[in-house]
């Protein structure tokens, strides 16, 4: 009796599946990666090696070779590799509790809705979608299927940002009066993010969204009014479809005003400054994967200075485990679909005020 | 023959006048202080002790006692002390070449126009006036009288700001894409600056003007579009008349976008960040009387870091001597009346976009 290579692989896969089965008992949520790009391969998957409640159990990719390499690296059975065509078959795979959607923005809606229909929970990267209608459809589909939906707003789980929120809520800064925030970078050539059909919009959708979201979680309010200016300078042909720079202001119901800025045409390190009636809070590198630096000057108090929190746990560990916990304990995620939908609605209004629109 | 106290004072004054006459020969411009407040007494007058081409030769004040004390301290003859009533008599005083108008904003126009009619050049504090019409009338009056008019925009003479402009013009930052700037402070109670009739407006007029002016001198462009949001929170009755916070954005013809912020309700250290296609320039304490800190990160270049330039010469020395030189050599000041008028026009548009108006 001869054993073929195929048989050997099947055997290996079934052994792996059995291992996965055991782990399931220790209540780890099995994630299927939807899209094998930088954020999945370099951030989410490595992070899952150190999570308490999460593991990567399946992959969806259009590149079989890459998927097989990653599967081997993470001990994922070959049966758990899907293409975009047979993606709906995840429905019958018990190794998969949830999907992590890390595709170009325009594909988020389709692959979220298909996952919900397949009975899987969805952790979806930001921006949630490329239109308000798509974002609403995602919320509706997950609700109809009784599946959890979380948008991957890392910063709302990250310790420095949480400390900033605590400082504000404690009243130490007095009444918040004004916020400034910016985030941008000089984008490379031939990025899908400069294709309006794939990205929906430019830097506002991709990185400006961090400042927008921060102004909302720092104040705990929704902006009542917003207005922006977008510009395209385009020295080198990168900005035929999306905006290059966008500055906008917002006014919140309590009277807080915010001025924000984003760009694909220049490096613009992420930060925010919160000006209260009793003190000023400054967070540098506010939105990066690590290296947040918090400084607070409060009247009559020693300066609070917290540079560079420990790199571990990574934001991706926090995010994977938070959603896993929501799935396991039937809790609402801290940043559910509705949170992403709200940002989409606000970004649509910012674009409208600029005389632009979502793709 | 008895000599009265009055005679002695007259003798002293005539001796002082004779001293002034000699100094005139060394081509120092004689300034008459119009208004003895903090900026005149603590900044401009002390600075004039160390200037090359400026000296204080006369005073205008509503408080005779204070004026006499200052006159004694600066060796100014008593004849050169004026009240607001007999101010026009400066016309016949040869010790006075120019006036320095450092009054509440609403009085700038009247005392500039009366000075011009009296044949004197005018260095006027910012904001130039409390309305565009007043600012235009000031420009017109000085032009009709063939007198110089300069608005006291210190920063356009200050070394760190000039270096920032040079770095931008040299092209080292590449194409400027976006600017962020802010300046504000927590204002005290019972300040004339919170009285709309005296001040014209709130923090935009007083300190936001620095960010507005900076965006113009950093880009060398005039904003094509601007939009803001003003708010009044008023926890303690300070903001019955003027705005408490104001955030605004601008778009310049080349595509630069700017987001700016100002406040009277919170401390907001002055700064600007200029984001170019090849690098980022950051100036902290950009608008203070001293302590500017410039940092520039340019691709492939060592970081430029210039903390805290020497305190001397003070900005007031630079300003007094620049205007003196313009008077002596018949040159146009770097920041003439038209520069102040432009800011007034832009601030009027920002207020209009906020649904507010200049007083």
| SS3 sequence of chain A | CCCCHHHHHHHHHHHHHHHHHHHHHCCCEEEEEECCCHHHHHHHHHHHCCCCCEEEEEEECCCHHHHHHHHHHHCCCHHHEECCCCHHHHHHCCCCCEEEECCCHHHHHHHHHHHHHCCCEEEECCCCCCCHHHHHHHHHHHHHCCCCEEECCHHHHCHHHHHHHHHHHCCCCCCEEEEEEEEEEECCCCCHHHCHHHHCCCHHHHHHHHHHHHHHHHHCCCCCEEEEEEECCCCCCCCCCCCCEEEEEEECCCCCEEEEEEECEEEEEEEEEEEECCEEEEEECCCCCCCCEEEEEECCCCCEEECCCCCCCCHHHHHHHHHHHHHHHCCCCCCEHHHHHHHHHHHHHHHHHCCCCCC
pTM: 0.91
In this prediction, residue A25 carries a pLDDT of 45
Assess whether pLDDT exceeds 80 at residue A309: no
* Rounded distance between C-alpha atoms, residue B95 and residue B55, angstroms: 10
Q: Tell me, what CATH number does A171's domain have?
A: 3.30.360.10
Residue with tokens 């007494």: B41
B107: helix, strand or coil: helix
| CA distance between the termini of chain B | 60
Residue A340 lies in a domain: no
User: Residue A265 and residue B177: Cβ atoms within 8 Å?
Assistant: yes
Q: Which of B124, B152, B180 is the last residue of a domain?
A: B152
Q: Are residues B159 and B263 in the same domain?
A: yes
Distance from CA of A198 to the nearest CA of B (A): 24
In this prediction, residue B34 carries a pLDDT of 98
**What average pLDDT does range A97-114 have in this prediction?**
98
Q: Are residues A181 and A306 in the same domain?
A: yes
**What average pLDDT does range A39-47 have in this prediction?**
96
Task: Based on the residue annotation, tell me whether B289 is a catalytic residue of this protein.
Answer: no
Question: Mean pLDDT, chain A, as a whole number?
Answer: 93
User: A62-78, pLDDT tens digit by residue?
Assistant: 999 999 999 999 999 99
| Contacting residues of B for A259, CB less than 8 Å apart | 180, 182, 247-249, 259-261
Distance from CA of B130 to the nearest CA of A (A): 24
Q: Which of A110, A126, A152 is the last residue of a domain?
A: A152
| Contacting residues of B for A175, CB less than 8 Å apart | 233, 235, 265
E-strand stretches of chain B: 29-34, 54-60, 81-82, 98-101, 121-124, 149-151, 176-186, 225-231, 245-251, 257-263, 265-276, 279-284, 293-298, 304-307
* Rounded distance between C-alpha atoms, residue A228 and residue A222, angstroms: 17
**What average pLDDT does range B310-326 have in this prediction?**
91
Q: What are the structure tokens assigned to A117, written together?
A: 């229909």
Among candidates B231, B266, B277 on the partner chain, residue whose Cβ is nearest the Cβ of A265? B277
User: B108-121, pLDDT tens digit by residue?
Assistant: 999 999 999 999 99
Query: Is the four-CA dihedral B102, B103, B106, B111 of positive or negative sign?
Result: negative
Distance from CA of A143 to the nearest CA of B (A): 37
Q: Tell me, what CATH number does A21's domain have?
A: 3.40.50.720
What length does chain B have? 359
User: B140-197, pLDDT tens digit by residue?
Assistant: 999 999 999 999 999 999 999 999 999 999 999 999 999 999 999 999 999 999 999 9
Confidence category of residue B11, pLDDT binned at 50, 70, 90: low
**What average pLDDT does range A316-334 have in this prediction?**
97
| Contacting residues of B for A257, CB less than 8 Å apart | 229-231, 245-247, 261
Q: Are residues B167 and B306 in the same domain?
A: yes
Cβ pair B145, B337 in contact under 8 A: no
Assess whether pLDDT exceeds 90 at residue B26: no
Question: Comparing C-alpha atoms, which of A330, A333, A340, A319 is closest to residue A138?
Answer: A340
User: B259-311, pLDDT tens digit by residue?
Assistant: 999 999 999 999 999 999 999 999 999 999 999 999 999 999 989 998 877 77
Question: Comparing C-alpha atoms, which of B255, B174, B250 is closest to residue A239?
Answer: B255
User: Residue B266 and residue A275: Cβ atoms within 8 Å?
Assistant: yes
**What average pLDDT does range A287-302 have in this prediction?**
94
Residue with tokens 């391969």: A41
Q: Are residues B141 and B214 in the same domain?
A: no
User: B76-107, pLDDT tens digit by residue?
Assistant: 999 999 999 999 999 999 999 999 999 999 99
Q: Are residues B182 and B134 in the same domain?
A: no
Among candidates A175, A180, A268 on the partner chain, residue whose Cβ is nearest the Cβ of B178? A268
Residue A142 lies in a domain: yes
Task: Pick A6 or A53 by higher pLDDT.
Answer: A53
**What average pLDDT does range A295-304 have in this prediction?**
92
Residue B268 lies in a domain: yes
Contacts of residue A93, defined as CB under 8 A and 6 or more positions apart, other chains included, come to A32, A58, A79, A80
Lowest-confidence range among A213-217, A249-253, B24-28, B309-313?
B24-28
In this prediction, residue A4 carries a pLDDT of 57
Residue B343 lies in a domain: no
Residue B125 lies in a domain: yes
Which of B28, B111, B120, B126 is flagged as catalytic?
B126
Question: Comparing C-alpha atoms, which of B142, B146, B262, B267 is closest to residue B214?
Answer: B262
Cβ pair A251, A215 in contact under 8 A: no
Q: Are residues B168 and B99 in the same domain?
A: no
User: Residue A231 and residue B255: Cβ atoms within 8 Å?
Assistant: yes
Burial tier of B85 (Cβ tally within 10 Å: 0-12, 13-18, 19+): exposed
In this prediction, residue B9 carries a pLDDT of 53
User: A153-207, pLDDT tens digit by residue?
Assistant: 999 999 999 999 999 999 999 999 999 999 999 999 999 999 999 999 999 999 9
User: Residue B268 and residue A280: Cβ atoms within 8 Å?
Assistant: yes
Which of A82, A87, A111, A210 is flagged as catalytic?
A210
In this prediction, residue B45 carries a pLDDT of 97
Measuring CA to CA, how many Å separate A91 from each of A5, A16, A86, A116?
Answer: 28, 19, 10, 9
Distance from CA of A132 to the nearest CA of B (A): 25
Q: Are residues B86 and B191 in the same domain?
A: no
Which of A31, A87, A100, A126 is flagged as catalytic?
A126
User: Residue B277 and residue A255: Cβ atoms within 8 Å?
Assistant: no
Lowest-confidence range among A16-20, B221-225, B334-338?
A16-20
Q: What are the structure tokens assigned to B159, written together?
A: 């070394």
State ipTM: 0.89
In this prediction, residue A10 carries a pLDDT of 56
Q: Are residues A148 and A227 in the same domain?
A: no
Interface size between A and B, measured as CB pairs under 8 A: 154
In this prediction, residue B306 carries a pLDDT of 85
| Contacting residues of A for B275, CB less than 8 Å apart | 184, 261, 263, 266-268
Assess whether pLDDT exceeds 70 at residue A1: no
Q: Are residues B199 and B254 in the same domain?
A: yes
Assess whether pLDDT exceeds 50 at residue A337: yes
Q: Are residues B36 and B145 in the same domain?
A: yes
In this prediction, residue A2 carries a pLDDT of 47
* Test mutation, B181, B255, B303, chain A, max A CBs within 10 A: B255
Residue A348 lies in a domain: no
* Test mutation, A188, A266, A282, A349, chain B, max B CBs within 10 A: A266
Phi/psi of residue A246, nearest 5 degrees: -150, 125
Among chain A residues, CA nearest to B255: A231
Share of residues in chain B with pLDDT > 90 (%): 88
Confidence category of residue A313, pLDDT binned at 50, 70, 90: confident
In this prediction, residue A6 carries a pLDDT of 55
In this prediction, residue B165 carries a pLDDT of 98
Assess whether pLDDT exceeds 50 at residue B62: yes
Distance from CA of B203 to the nearest CA of A (A): 13
Measuring CA to CA, how many Å separate B119 from each of B60, B87, B152, B319?
Answer: 16, 12, 20, 21
Assess whether pLDDT exceeds 90 at residue A26: no
Distance from CA of A204 to the nearest CA of B (A): 13
Among candidates B180, B249, B256 on the partner chain, residue whose Cβ is nearest the Cβ of A228? B249
Read off the DSSP letter of residue B287.
T
Question: Comparing C-alpha atoms, which of A109, A245, A255 is closest to residue B247?
Answer: A255
User: Residue A177 and residue B258: Cβ atoms within 8 Å?
Assistant: no
* Rounded distance between C-alpha atoms, residue A274 and residue A296, angstroms: 9
Q: Are residues B305 and B159 in the same domain?
A: yes
Please calculate the CA angle B45-B47-B52 and round it to the nearest 5 degrees: 115
Read off the DSSP letter of residue B41.
I
Q: What is the largest CA-CA distance in chain B?
A: 83
* Structural domains counted in chain A: 2
Among candidates A177, A184, A248 on the partner chain, residue whose Cβ is nearest the Cβ of B263? A177
In this prediction, residue A17 carries a pLDDT of 47
* Rounded distance between C-alpha atoms, residue A92 and residue B192, angstroms: 74
B260: helix, strand or coil: strand
Q: Are residues A111 and A10 in the same domain?
A: yes
* Test mutation, B265, B286, B355, chain A, max A CBs within 10 A: B265
User: Residue A231 and residue B263: Cβ atoms within 8 Å?
Assistant: no
Distance from CA of A79 to the nearest CA of B (A): 47
Read off the DSSP letter of residue B156.
G
User: Residue B244 and residue A184: Cβ atoms within 8 Å?
Assistant: no
In this prediction, residue B7 carries a pLDDT of 55
Task: Based on the residue annotation, tell me whether A117 is a catalytic residue of this protein.
Answer: no
| Contacting residues of A for B250, CB less than 8 Å apart | 229, 247
User: Residue B257 and residue A251: Cβ atoms within 8 Å?
Assistant: no
Q: What are the structure tokens assigned to A50, written together?
A: 């150190």
Contacts of residue B171, defined as CB under 8 A and 6 or more positions apart, other chains included, come to none
* Test mutation, A237, A238, A247, A273, chain B, max B CBs within 10 A: A247
User: Residue A248 and residue B268: Cβ atoms within 8 Å?
Assistant: no
User: Residue A231 and residue B277: Cβ atoms within 8 Å?
Assistant: no
Measuring CA to CA, how many Å separate A130 from each of A34, A103, A155, A195, A205?
Answer: 17, 12, 21, 12, 8
In this prediction, residue B310 carries a pLDDT of 74
Which of B74, B82, B210, B271 is flagged as catalytic?
B210
User: Residue A229 and residue B249: Cβ atoms within 8 Å?
Assistant: yes
Q: What are the structure tokens assigned to A16, written together?
A: 């792996």
* Rounded distance between C-alpha atoms, residue B310 and residue B50, angstroms: 15
Contacts of residue B303, defined as CB under 8 A and 6 or more positions apart, other chains included, come to B295, B296, B297
User: Residue B231 and residue A186: Cβ atoms within 8 Å?
Assistant: no
Confidence category of residue B21, pLDDT binned at 50, 70, 90: very low
Which range of residues forms the domain containing residue B177?
A: 155-310
User: Residue B276 and residue A263: Cβ atoms within 8 Å?
Assistant: no
Phi/psi of residue B129, nearest 5 degrees: -160, -175
Question: Comparing C-alpha atoms, which of B48, B50, B67, B56 is closest to residue B99?
Answer: B56
Among chain B residues, CA nearest to A231: B255
Peptide bond into B313 cis (omega under 30): yes
Q: Which of B293, B310, B327 is the last residue of a domain?
A: B310
Residue B358 lies in a domain: no
Residue B334 lies in a domain: no
């Amino acid at each position: 009796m001869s054993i073929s290579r195929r048989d050997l692989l099947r055997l290996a896969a079934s052994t792996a599946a059995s291992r996965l089965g055991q782990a399931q008992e220790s209540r780890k949520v099995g994630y299927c990666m939807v899209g094998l790009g930088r954020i999945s391969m370099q951030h989410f998957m490595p992070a899952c090696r150190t999570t308490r409640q999460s593991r990567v159990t399946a992959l969806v990719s259009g590149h079989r070779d890459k998927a097989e390499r990653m599967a081997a690296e993470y001990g994922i059975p070959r049966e758990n590799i899907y293409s975009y065509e047979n993606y709906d078959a995840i429905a019958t795979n018990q190794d998969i509790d949830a999907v992590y959607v890390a595709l170009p923005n325009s594909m988020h809606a389709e692959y979220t809705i298909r996952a919900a229909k397949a009975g899987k929970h969805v952790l979806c990267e930001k921006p949630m979608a490329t239109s308000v209608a798509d974002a609403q459809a995602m919320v509706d589909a997950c609700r109809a299927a009784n599946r959890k939906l979380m948008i991957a707003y890392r910063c709302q789980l990250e310790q420095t940002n949480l400390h900033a929120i605590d400082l504000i809520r404690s009243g130490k800064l007095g009444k918040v009066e004004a916020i400034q925030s910016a985030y941008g970078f000089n984008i490379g050539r031939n990025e899908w993010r400069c294709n309006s059909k794939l990205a929906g919009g430019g830097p506002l959708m991709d990185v400006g969204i961090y400042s927008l979201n921060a102004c909302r979680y720092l104040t705990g309010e929704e902006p009542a009014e917003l207005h922006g200016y977008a510009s395209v300078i385009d020295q080198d042909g990168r900005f035929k479809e999306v905006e290059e720079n966008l500055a906008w202001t917002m006014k919140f119901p309590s009277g807080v005003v915010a001025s924000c800025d984003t760009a694909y045409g220049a490096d613009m390190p992420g930060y925010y400054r919160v000006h209260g009636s009793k003190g000023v809070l400054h967070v540098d590198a506010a939105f990066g994967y690590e290296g947040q630096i918090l400084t607070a000057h409060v009247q009559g108090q020693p300066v609070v200075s917290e540079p560079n929190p420990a790199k571990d746990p990574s934001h991706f560990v926090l995010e994977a485990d938070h959603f896993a916990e929501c799935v396991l304990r039937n809790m609402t995620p801290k940043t559910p679909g509705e949170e992403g939908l709200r940002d989409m609605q606000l970004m649509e209004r910012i674009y409208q005020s600029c005389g632009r629109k979502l793709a």
